[in-house]
Amino acid sequence: MPEHTIGTREEWQAARKELAKLEADQAQRNEEVKQKRLALPWVQVEKEYEFDTEEGKKTLAELFDGRSQLLAYNVMFGPDYTLGACPGCSSLADGLDGSLVHLNHRDVTLMCFSRAPIERLAAYKQRMGWEFPYVSTYNTEFAFDFGLALTEEQAQAIPEVREMTENPPDWLEEWSGQVGADLKDGLRENPSWIAFARENGTVYHTYTVSAPDPFVAPYFSFLAERTPKPQPDEPRTWRKDEYPD
């Protein structure tokens, strides 16, 4: 007999109904937050940035690829990572291609950014079999201006980052090995979503959300939340071609 509570169908139904009320409450709260998110002011991007893409240099406006909205995920893959991007970010990115064509037809260009040079991003993208555009913010101030990366000084000034660097938990030490970078460098990348709008030739920054917001988690974690057994507390992740068995 499993240790979990076993019930009749009627007991389950009653408990499920109670849960459904809470799920509906949460959906309602989510609706309110969404409205507020849409109401945030847009901020004009006045600085010029030039990015390395698979198709050569592009400005921020050019990254929109003719659409009016740009939504990008900033994958932790800094210039110091010798073994590839963060496995958790890679798992999140695995989930994007399924939405790519649908968002493109909703006037949204979906892509990923990282700070490593474009050649390394292109090679990693090929290894992972991704379709979405992958853009390098190497040699631009973009990532620092928008809070997607920390300078060495900034990183050291944050007590939590310093503590994680000096006394890392086991899973974080493993992570450092997975990406092939010291934590003092590895933790300078900020896993985040960032959104921009383009209207009449002007680009506006509209939204950023960073870890630990659950939106910055691989999509399978939302599915795993519906499975019967609890997920491990430690955020160990693997690239899809590196699972232990």
Partner 1 sequence: MAEHRIGTQEQWQAERNELLKEEKQLTRLSDELAAKRSRLPWVPVEKVYRFESERGTAGLADLFDGRSQLLVYHFMFGPSYEAGCPVCSSIADTLAVQVPHLGARDTTLMLASRGPLAKLLDYRKRMGWEIDWVSSEGSDFNRDIGFMHTEEELQPFLEGEIPATVVQNAEMCGTTVGGYVAEGPGLSAYTLADGVVYRTYVSSARGLEFAMPYYALLDRTPKGRDEHPGTPVWLRRHDEYGSSVAV
Sequence-separated (6 or more) residues with CB below 8 Å from residue 232: none
Among 176, 205, 199, smallest CA distance to 40 is for 205
Does residue 16 interact with partner 1 by CB under 8 A? yes
The piece of 114-122, 160-168, 173-181, 224-232 that touches partner 1 (CB under 8 A) is 224-232
Taking the complex as a whole, the smallest distance from the CB of residue 21 to partner 1 amounts, in Å, to: 11
Site string for partner 1, 175-194 (x = CB under 8 A): ------------------x-
Strand partners of residue 205: 43, 196
Nearer residue to partner 1 within complex by CB, 118 or 125 = 125
Does residue 171 interact with partner 1 by CB under 8 A? no
DSSP 68: S
CA gap 189, 234 in Å, rounded: 20
Q: Out of 12, 141, 173, 182, point to the residue binding partner 1 (CB under 8 A).
A: 12
Site string for partner 1, 18-37 (x = CB under 8 A): -xx-xxxxxx-xx-xxx-xx
Burial (CB count within 10 angstroms: exposed 0-12, middle 13-18, buried 19+), residue 198 = buried
Using DSSP's 3-state secondary structure scheme, residue 193 falls into strand
Give the H/E segment covering residue 73.
strand 69-74
Nearer residue to partner 1 within complex by CB, 167 or 200 = 200
Residues numbered 146 to 165 that lie near partner 1 (CB under 8 A) are none
162: left (phi over 0), alpha (psi -120 to 50) or beta: alpha
> How many Cα atoms are found within 13 Å in the side-chain-facing hemisphere of 244?
3
Site residue total, partner 1 (CB under 8 A): 85
Taking the complex as a whole, the smallest distance from the CB of residue 140 to partner 1 amounts, in Å, to: 18
Residues numbered 91 to 130 that lie near partner 1 (CB under 8 A) are 91, 94-95, 97-99, 101-103, 105-108, 110
Give the H/E segment covering residue 58.
strand 56-59
The piece of 75-83, 136-144, 163-171, 195-203 that touches partner 1 (CB under 8 A) is 195-203
Q: Out of 211, 226, 234, 235, point to the residue binding partner 1 (CB under 8 A).
A: 226
Q: Out of 65, 119, 173, 225, point to the residue binding partner 1 (CB under 8 A).
A: 225
